[in-house]
Amino acid sequence: MSDAAFWGDADKAQTVMQERANLEKVLTFFKELSGKLADCGALIELGAEMGEEAVADDLKAGLAEADAVLEKMQLERMLSGPTDRNNAIVTISAGAGGTESQDWAHMLYRMYLRFCEKKGWKTEVLDYQDGEEAGIKGATFHVTGEFAFGYIRPETGVHRLVRISPFDSQARRHTSFASVGVLPELDDAIEVDIKEADLRIDTYRASGSGGQHVNRTDSAVRITHMPTNTVVQCQSERSQLKNRSTAMKMLRSRLYEEEQRKREAINAALYADKADVGWGSQIRSYVLAPYQMVKDLRTQHETSNTGGVLDGDIQPFIDTYLLQFANAMAARKGIAVAPSDEAY
């Protein structure tokens, strides 16, 4: 960075700056962990002189702090995929079921926006389609933040809601479904070959209930990749050119992710008898009646705090999945895995 020519290439400089920040973060983790363990060692020596009871509470608290740092380091290690550090593009789609599913899709939309807000990430709506009576038919938004894709990717799949319907005059229990898709925003270092001849580009008038979704011109853009029948659309900007540029980024990300999924499917088939964690279809159930429970069907992690989950407190579900998935990947490669807390 001290080289006079360093800032001549802005893109390269930004990449190096990001790499430096990542390395500094790793060093900070080790320094913090080393310091907390040193403090615990000093307390043990003090306890040998003054008696264990004099330092027991402080030592327990110190070890808990060290364990928390170690857990953060472990999660960082698990988010080591080529696109885990990237920004994310999240798409939520209502399942069959009309108003019920559309309302559930909107609940999920709010849940993820609240989660991103708690993480300090920036979100931008790219596409938003209102439901016929309530909720949304679908929505796509962009998430900017470190490890955004790595953390949100485990949410990919079908989410199931069981509740007493607010739209049913007889107050009957209904089951609704909505799907969540998560794509990485790709940088220029990852190449995706897209031929112009393979694209069909349509423009249309943006729709929505008001605010940023109102548009009086045909500026919304829909791009279809005909060989794969992949469709993306964007209506967040008043400029057709900006919407087209954003839609092309979404298309690159979707085609890249589809290729990654094909490779994962091949690996999963090869190691089907060795792995318990995978990218399932229906991943989580949210039961609001007759009891309160949210349960991840892949990890069996569950909580009765349904209100907190729907308000964005989904980090425990993500962390549990990442830990189990990393352990499964290590087991496939014959790498020894540290026992879980329950083993003790």
Tokens in use for 179? 């799907």
Q: How confident is the model at residue 338 (pLDDT cuts 50, 70, 90)?
A: low
Q: Where are the domains of the chain?
A: 6-78, 84-185+280-344, 188-265
286-300 in b/e form (b: 16+ CB < 10 A) is bbbeeeeebbbbbbe
For strand 157-164 and strand 282-287, is the pairing parallel, antiparallel, or unpaired? parallel
Residue 109, CB half-sphere, CA atoms under 13 Å: how many? 26
Q: What is the DSSP letter of 343?
A: G
Identify the weakest region by mean pLDDT among 54-63, 133-142, 154-163, 324-333. Answer: 324-333
Task: Return the percentage of the chain with pLDDT > 90, whole number.
Answer: 45
pLDDT greater at residue 1 or residue 291: 291
Rounded to whole angstroms, the Cα distance separating 187 from 116 reads 21
Measuring CA to CA, which residue among 46, 38, 28 is closest to residue 63? 38
For strand 230-234 and strand 220-225, is the pairing parallel, antiparallel, or unpaired? antiparallel
Range with top average pLDDT, 10-14, 71-75, 113-117, 322-326: 113-117
The mean pLDDT of 108-118, rounded to a whole number, is 97
For the stretch 149-169, pLDDT in tens is: 999 999 999 999 999 999 888
Residue 122: phi and psi, rounded to 5, are: -95, 140
Same topology, domains 84-185+280-344 and 188-265? Answer is no
How confident is the model at residue 219, as a pLDDT?
A: 82
How confident is the model at residue 73, as a pLDDT?
A: 81
**Which CATH code of 3.30.70.1660, 3.90.650.10, 3.60.15.30, 3.40.50.300 fits the domain covering 84-185+280-344?**
3.30.70.1660
Across the beta sheet with 293-296, what order do the strands follow?
122-130, 136-144, 88-94, 173-184, 157-164, 282-287, 293-296, 302-303
Task: Return the percentage of the chain with pLDDT > 70, whole number.
Answer: 86
3-state class (DSSP) for residue 219: coil
The mean pLDDT of 254-267, rounded to a whole number, is 72
3-state class (DSSP) for residue 274: coil
How confident is the model at residue 265, as a pLDDT?
A: 66
Rounded to whole angstroms, the Cα distance separating 198 from 219 reads 21
Q: Does residue 112 have a pLDDT over 60?
A: yes
Q: How confident is the model at residue 343 (pLDDT cuts 50, 70, 90)?
A: very low
Q: Tell me which residue has tokens 């040193």.
A: 38
Q: Does residue 41 have a pLDDT over 90?
A: yes
Question: What's the fold here for domain 188-265?
Answer: Double Stranded RNA Binding Domain (3.30.160)
For the stretch 65-86, pLDDT in tens is: 999 888 888 777 788 777 888 9
